[in-house]
Structures are given as structure tokens and as C-alpha cells.
Structure 1
């Protein structure tokens, strides 16, 4: 039985994710590590791109515990065929040659074949998909000083808060994630940014 994670939002509603360790083992380990260390708790969702995705953070949650990169799953597990990124999936974000984010995950609102093998699918929404479609429609404002060009950033005007993330490991233990050695980190992770 796969582990699950429940995102409890500030409106009292929840989004329940089934984690998929057989599809993206190190990415799942990283998400669990972050959740158990409270990285996601009391965090305002930072990016909504209607029709595309809802990105929980691009700032590593302004949390030092979240500021690490992990290898792409294809480097660690070339034998695993990556899952297709379809609406309702949960993917981990990445930074090209720097590697995957250890913690910055997003929900897809459409099928994204361009993500396959790049942003690993490590979970799928099993309850609360209606909350994603509600979030997609909240009023947002554009962020224009983002340090990377050609990236659309829309922040909710009224903060949408992840109150907490509860993880049910179904009685199993999960390893700490394999992290990349310290190196140049994404520009948008700088605490002085914003």
C-alpha cells in the first residue's frame, strides 16, 4: 500500500495525494523528508498558472531545510520508465543542469507531455481535485521581478495557505533523500529575493 499525504488548507478543505515510490523513489523520499520536517506547514501557495499548474513554491518555501537539490530520477534510476504527467498529477520542480528541487512540487492542471522524464511524477491526487480547480480560479497578481526570464508567475492576491501536511506512511519506513552536494543554488531561493 502506497503512502499518502494530506494537504490541509486554510479554508478547512484538503487535498489528498497518493505518493508513488515505485515511480520516483528518491523524489518521494525527499517529499516525505520535507513534510515530516514541517517545511510545507503554514506556507502560502506562491504560483498559479491557470490552465497549466499550481506551484506550491519557487522560493524553497523560504526555509533553509528546503534549500537542497536532488538528482534527476533518470540519473539515479535509469531502469524506471517515468510516468506521464497528466492532469491531477504531482510533480517535483527542477532547475535544468542544477538538478531537481528537493521540495518544490506542483500540481498539473493539464496533460504535460513535455514534463516526462524531466519533472518526475511522484504522486497523484486521490481526493480534493475540486480544490485544485478552485485554486486555479482565485484572483492573482503577476510577479514581474522574478529572476528568470520567460517564466509566468502569478501570486494569489488573497493568500492561500497550506496549514499543514499530514503523511501516512502505512507502517513503512522511507530513507532520507539522496541530495546533490552543495553547489550554486537557484537565484529564486535567496532569502533577500522579494
Structure 2
């Protein structure tokens, strides 16, 4: 239990962002972000090879849509996997901070960046999003802290799951994401999983801190 709690605490620290502004948009009906209604495939071309991820808009439409939109905008191109945690046990590979693509940004600032909307000149945040496994209902803006089977998310942290990084504010996810290196059930209901690696997990296993994500390319969508 001590080691599990310790890992969870480290996780929150690692994925903390300095800005903690709640989103004004809850769900696809009111969101200006294009939601993904079906599945999409995105190829993450890294300097160590290709990682292909499937985005699940059926169970995380807003979160998957946000990631696909950022990929189409080129936000992830040239960014770094600025945090890789494998010790004392496999944990996550994290990337998606737009600031890591700028050589003028010091490494001490890696992990604090968000996507700045060019239209509003403000950081864009999305709410915590889960689909309940039993009812299929989408819930936003709150962690699923209960152990009740009725409140379990349909998308969980398996090895290869891709999810959004955020601060302790549940509505502070922006562009940063992480890929789980092993099942992480202690994070289920706390961070929004929106897809999984379907090809190239061996590449993820080879990624080192500050390796480059050369280009993120949307390969296909299935609405």
C-alpha cells in the first residue's frame, strides 16, 4: 500500500500543470472543440519509430476529439516526450507540451505548457470525461472516487492506454498526454483515458526522456 500511494503521489506531481483554470465547456453539446463520434487512428512518428494509437470517440468523444484536433493543427509536431518514468517500476511516458518544441523554453519549464488557442490567445482546457461502464452515460468534471461498480469508467488504464495529463484541477487537461507502460488501476476514474496503442508499443518501450515526436498524423476516422 505504501508503494502504491507513493506512486500515485508522484503521478500527481509529474502531471501537474501550473495553470489550473476550469473549462467553461462541459460535454459535446456546448463545446467548441470538435468531438469525435466514432474511432480515429493517429500515427505518432517518433525518432525511434512509429506509434499508432486508436482514439475512442465512442466512449470519450470530447477528449478524443481534442487530441485529434490538436494533431490536425500540428500542435504535437516537434514536441518532446519530456517525462519517462520506468523506475522503480514501469509507469508512463508523457508528452504533448507545446513548449518543448521551442528551443528557447528551458527544460525546467517542461510539463507546464498548454495549447494556446490562436483565436482567443488563451489556453484551452477540457473537462475530465468518463463514460460509465454500466450505463454508458458520459459524466464530466468530477473524479469517480467511489468503489461502486455503477461508477466504474468504461475505459481503464491498461498497458498501452493513452490518457490526458492534468493538474489537481479535474478540468485542467489541455494538450499533454501520457501512455501507460503497465496497467495502472489506481488511476482509473481520476484521469481520462481516450484510446490505446494498437501498433508500436515496443517503440514506446524504447522511448527515452526528451526523445522527439516528429509528427502526429491523423490516418483515418470512422464515424
Same fold at TM > 0.5: yes
**Secondary structure in 2 aligned to 1:103?**
coil
Residue aligning to 1:6: 43
Answer yes or no: is 1:16 the counterpart of 2:67: no
Query: 2:72 matched to which residue of 1?
Result: 36
1:64 aligned residue? 116
Among candidates 142, 145, 165, match of residue 216 of structure 2:
165
Q: 1:100 to 1:82 in 2, by over 3 A?
A: farther
CA distance in 2, matches of 1:32, 1:89: 16
The 1:171–1:114 alpha-carbon spacing in structure 2 relative to 1, beyond 3 Å, is closer
Question: Is structure 2 residue 200 aligned with structure 1 residue 112?
Answer: no
The 8 Å contact of residues 56 and 194 in structure 2, kept in 1 or not, is answered as yes
For residues 88-167 of structure 1, what are the structure 2 equivalents within 5 Å?
A: 88-97=160-169, 99-135=171-207, 138=208, 156=209, 159-167=210-218
**Structure 1 stretches lacking a partner, 5+ long:** 139-155, 173-194
Identify unmatched segments of 5+ residues in structure 2.
1-37, 98-110, 132-136, 140-150
Matched, 1:86 2:158: yes
Encode CA deviations 1:75-106: one digit per residue, 9 max, x unaligned. 99229933111111001112222514121110
Is the contact made by 1:87 and 1:109 (CA closer than 8 Å) also made in structure 2?
A: yes
Matched with 1:143 is none
- 8 Å CA contact 2:60–2:130 kept in 1: the answer is no
- Residue number in structure 1 paired with 2:19: none
Alignment size in residue pairs: 149
Distance 1:128 1:27 in 2: 22
Partner of 1:23, secondary structure, is coil
Residue 64 of structure 2: SS of its match in structure 1? Answer: helix
TM-score normalised per structure 2: 0.60
State the Cα distance separating 1:69 from its structure 2 match: 1.3
Residues 80 and 68 (structure 1), Cα distance of their counterparts in 2 relative to 1, 3 Å cut:
farther
What TM-score comes out, normalization by structure 1 length?
Answer: 0.68
Q: Deviations over 1:28-66 (max 9, x none)?
A: 0110111111110011211111110000042336x5349
Structure 2: how far apart are the matches of 1:94 and 1:118? Answer: 10
